[in-house]
Structure 1
Amino acid sequence: MAGPIPDLEDRATRCAQRLCEADRVLLASHIDADGLTSAAIASSALERAGIPFETVFEKQLDEAAVADIAATDYDTVLFTDFGSGQLDVIGDREDAGDFTPVIADHHQPADRETEYHLNPLLFGINGASELSGAGASYVLARALATVADNRTARSVATDGGTTAAARADNRDLAALAVVGAVGDMQASGGELHGANAKIVEEGVDAGVIETGKDLALYGKQTRPLPKLLEYATDVHIPGISNDQQGALRFLDGLDLELKRDGEWRRWSGLTNDEKQTVASALVKRAVSSGVPAKKIDQLVSTAYVLPEEPVGTELRDASEFSTLLNATARYERADVGLGVCLGDRTDALERARKLLREHRRNLSEGIDLVTREGVTHADNLQWFHAGDRIRETIVGIVAGMAMGNAGISRSKPIIAFAEKNDDEVKVSARGTHNLVRKGLDLSAVMGDASRVVGGDGGGHDVAAGATVPTGEEEAFVERADEILGEQLS
């Protein structure tokens, strides 16, 4: 069966063939939601193809991490959701004969070539908005199923046996690819586009994804209705958003049974008619409060539901699933997130939920800290330094969520610093899709500005990161501000 993205099929097939030739594979992946889903997709595909493998995770694929990988006795290494931006370092190791790299990534490639490199950017497909790392891994998984199946068929024919049972085509893994894309903020304008949309179609056909228009609010599966509305701040509705009592009054004013046994119901448990009543009342309130029509339109988006997961759980909604995953590896428990992706609904899921509660508390405290202390405004950006008060693994999330709060603009990119170790500082940058349409490319900003001060960085146009030496923060900001001025002029 043909793969979901025709432009990538030949390269994906060559990568899959190389993996099938390996005696065993080391799978190395990034730690965010996109990285975890990438690893889960790749590990599922390798297991189904009968290829022995081991999985490792890295927060950052720097020279030290690549050196550690090279020190193993694996001849083949599969990199997922990173590797492209580190091709110079990886290429040196390949030239030295340490290992053969196979890369399924979507980040901006370094100026170096390698044979088994699957990246949408090499084929004119936007890796920041049209295909995530999980999407690239999914394309590889689909090719791997075909290559492995063909090899099995040839082997059976050679042995004179009967036709082997058809191998799974891996389309069921589209659900994880969608979770990864949503977690990578690729649902611009409320839905997935381009190559991501093709993967959604395969997931729908396979019965592992359902789509439809719904309220664009986070927490529709798990939050009680008052909290769902109170925390819905992307479209600020006066008297409801950030207003606990206001949200309660709004719901009490509706002629609906929104409580059962004294407990508030959740959006996922409402009937379609009940949802329509709440949504209509919400839109009327927004109109009467003077919310611009363009903003009101953003109250509705495309929902991506995983129908095989129970109603009312984080795993049923792609957005909530991705947040759960972010709460694992960012607290050094990538194994927990991978376990959930691979179907562990007991110990791993319980642990992930505990980590999610801690993650939410840390995010809330971080956002409060940034909002309370404010940011420093330069001509073309705004920035803050959290020191050791916000974990370097979540400071970028905090920065993005703080945009729009008092004194923190959404019309400028935001740059956040957090202590990484005694010698280095983690830098995270966040923008908006509206700024990207005006020319913003944070990957270029972070890469250029960090190298000027002796660091390194990269990422996507709307979100990127870097590591710089301690003490070079102001020089970094100065150079980043210059680049942004050129991009956004």
Structure 2
Amino acid sequence: MSGPVPELEERAERCADALRDAESVLVASHIDADGLTSAGIAARMLERAEIPFESVFEKQLDDDAIAGIAASAYDTVLFTDFGSGQLEAITEHEERGEFTPIIADHHQPAEAETAYHLNPLLEGVDGGSELSGAGATYVLARAFESEAGANKDLAALAIVGAVGDMQTTDGELTGANVAIAEEGVEAGVLDTTRDLALYGTQTRPLPKLLEYASEVYVPGITNDSSGAMRFLDALDVETRTDGDWRTWADLSHEERQAVLSALIKRAVRNGVASEKLDALVATTYTLAEEEPGTEVRDASEFSTLLNATARYERADVGLAVCLGDREEAYDAAKELLAQHRQNLSSGVRWVEEHGVTAEEHVQWFDSGDEIRETIVGIVAGMALSADGVSREKVILGFANKSAEESKVSARGSHALVRRGLDLSEVMGEASRSVGGDGGGHTVAAGATIPRAEREAFIAAVDRLVGEQLD
């Protein structure tokens, strides 16, 4: 095999050999976009090999979840997008002969060891920015294929997972993700091009695309519905068809250039810094075989659609969409997405109304039962662009998980990561110091802690972040 990530070839081949020997497989995965695309890649890989499988999804791979997996009838369990950080508990069940674990993950590994462990961090590849859980699973699928290049078409899902896992820096994928994207282009399932790097280019009407753009603030357009419409109406571009606003995807190359040029001129005239304007254009990742103007055409919009399924207990819908269902499951996903967007909007509005509490190095809010614990991390990330919230500090979002426990999500910026921030390390150490547990990535991480320990936890996070940034 000549895979997209040479450093992982030996591990991938070992995991693939173990899967080939399995009579059946249980695929266990996380509930976010990266987890769903990981499961989608694994499912397609096993389906093509005619190996029976079943899929289960977990919000968190805790001891109870692992025990439930061990109680299943499966002798082989493929963990995707989690498992590395839970190796101690997993290997305890392995040692008792309850199942053979195979792990394709990118989170920080625990110190325990197992024979079939595919994780970029074990070979010096950054799992926080260069390879997602879906990417690791894709590497496994490429090692597993019976015909050269047969699973390259799964690269599109791997890129959706990477984008959904916030692995773009200044709009660009880096490292091993670039190699996977190149394989997707070779397979004809992915297009990569320089274009407007705003969210919603496939589905949002042009005024909404500009009004809601949080990537670059342009006075008189951003957060200004009538201003965005006046700007578009003044252009020598047909921005409407039969009275309805067109989308960015509807425009020709020449029309896009005209809109972008006018937008940049307006921004410069209003004093927007040139380095911020650079964020307007970046590499975009388009799923070439999907219908233009749909939520599954653009990697970023696809990942948002998936987040709207499993986070609302409908992982079956998200997985079906990953596997190509564009009818019943796709319709259900779009309905869930509409509700998801309302919930996110309400969540950000709640943060704006109630504000954040600022510590020396972090800021935080506790939404209690007002924001679902499955989306509080997304809300926290979006709130970094809200009024009264600093982009120069880490933000912590709390939500009630149970009567005794709080879910807390942390979000930072790539600028802070370049200064030394590692939220995975911070959340893991701080949560364990108060009797909880956590982890994740350098720029985004989460934890579960006792509700009564909130203040002690915040103090620990503030201290640890300060030590890293100093």
Report what 1:242 is aligned to: 223
Mapped to 2, the partners of 1:353 and 1:472 lie a distance apart of: 38
Matches within 5 A, 1:98-137: 98-137=98-137
Matches within 5 A, 1:261-276: 261-276=242-257
Match of 1:389 among 357, 360, 370: 370
Report what 2:452 is aligned to: 471
Report what 1:425 is aligned to: 406
SS in 2 for 1:23: coil
Which AA in structure 2 matches 1:144? F
Matches within 5 A, 1:130-279: 130-145=130-145, 149=146, 166=147, 169-279=150-260
Aligned-pair CA distance for 1:46: 0.8
Which AA in structure 1 matches 2:11? R
Report what 1:358 is aligned to: 339
1:488 aligns with 2:469: yes
Which AA in structure 1 matches 2:115? E
Which AA in structure 1 matches 2:101? P
Mapped to 2, the partners of 1:280 and 1:444 lie a distance apart of: 43
1:83 aligns with 2:83: yes
Mapped to 1, the partners of 2:408 and 2:141 lie a distance apart of: 33
Aligned-pair CA distance for 1:189: 1.7
Mapped to 1, the partners of 2:54 and 2:149 lie a distance apart of: 21
Mapped to 2, the partners of 1:382 and 1:275 lie a distance apart of: 39
For residues 168 and 195 of structure 1, do their structure 2 counterparts lie closer, same or farther at Cα, with a shift above 3 Å needed?
Answer: closer
Report what 1:371 is aligned to: 352
SS in 1 for 2:106: coil
Report what 2:267 is aligned to: 286
Deviates more, 1:404-413 or 1:343-352: 404-413
Mapped to 1, the partners of 2:6 and 2:243 lie a distance apart of: 53
Mapped to 2, the partners of 1:69 and 1:375 lie a distance apart of: 39
SS in 1 for 2:284: strand
Do 2:195 and 2:284's aligned partners in 1 also have CA atoms closer than 8 Å?
Answer: yes
1:324 aligns with 2:305: yes
Q: For structure 2, which runs of at least 5 residues remain unmatched after alignment?
A: none
SS in 1 for 2:139: helix
Which AA in structure 2 matches 1:132? S
Mapped to 1, the partners of 2:269 and 2:214 lie a distance apart of: 17
Q: How many residues align?
A: 470
SS in 2 for 1:189: coil
Mapped to 2, the partners of 1:434 and 1:261 lie a distance apart of: 44
Which AA in structure 2 matches 1:62? D
User: With structure 1 as the length reference, what TM-score do the two structures score?
Assistant: 0.95
SS in 1 for 2:54: strand
Aligned-pair CA distance for 1:49: 1.2
Aligned-pair CA distance for 1:252: 0.9
Deviates more, 1:368-377 or 1:167-176: 167-176
1:452 aligns with 2:419: no
Which AA in structure 2 matches 1:479? A
Mapped to 1, the partners of 2:446 and 2:96 lie a distance apart of: 29
Two-structure CA RMSD over aligned residues (Å)? 0.8
SS in 2 for 1:337: helix
User: With structure 2 as the length reference, what TM-score do the two structures score?
Assistant: 0.99
Aligned-pair CA distance for 1:404: 2.7
SS in 1 for 2:296: helix
Aligned-pair CA distance for 1:359: 0.3
SS in 2 for 1:312: coil
Which AA in structure 1 matches 2:391? R
1:327-376 alpha-carbon deviations (Å, 9 max, x no partner):
00010000000000000011000000000000000000000000111000
Match of 2:388 among 404, 407, 414: 407
Mapped to 1, the partners of 2:108 and 2:303 lie a distance apart of: 23
Q: For structure 1, which runs of at least 5 residues remain unmatched after alignment?
A: 150-165
SS in 2 for 1:86: helix
SS in 2 for 1:27: strand
Mapped to 2, the partners of 1:135 and 1:406 lie a distance apart of: 35
SS in 2 for 1:466: strand
Aligned-pair CA distance for 1:98: 1.2
Report what 2:296 is aligned to: 315
Aligned-pair CA distance for 1:64: 0.4
1:336 aligns with 2:335: no
Aligned-pair CA distance for 1:167: 7.5
1:425-469 alpha-carbon deviations (Å, 9 max, x no partner):
101000011110000100011100100110000000000000001
Matches within 5 A, 1:3-18: 3-18=3-18
Do 2:422 and 2:468's aligned partners in 1 also have CA atoms closer than 8 Å?
Answer: yes
Which AA in structure 1 matches 2:168? A
Aligned-pair CA distance for 1:91: 1.2
1:59 aligns with 2:59: yes
1:208-262 alpha-carbon deviations (Å, 9 max, x no partner):
0001011110000000000000001221011000010110110011011111111
Give 1 or 2 for the bigger CA radius of gyration: 1
Which AA in structure 1 matches 2:334? R
Do 2:34 and 2:161's aligned partners in 1 also have CA atoms closer than 8 Å?
Answer: yes
Mapped to 1, the partners of 2:71 and 2:238 lie a distance apart of: 62
1:36-58 alpha-carbon deviations (Å, 9 max, x no partner):
00000001001111211111000
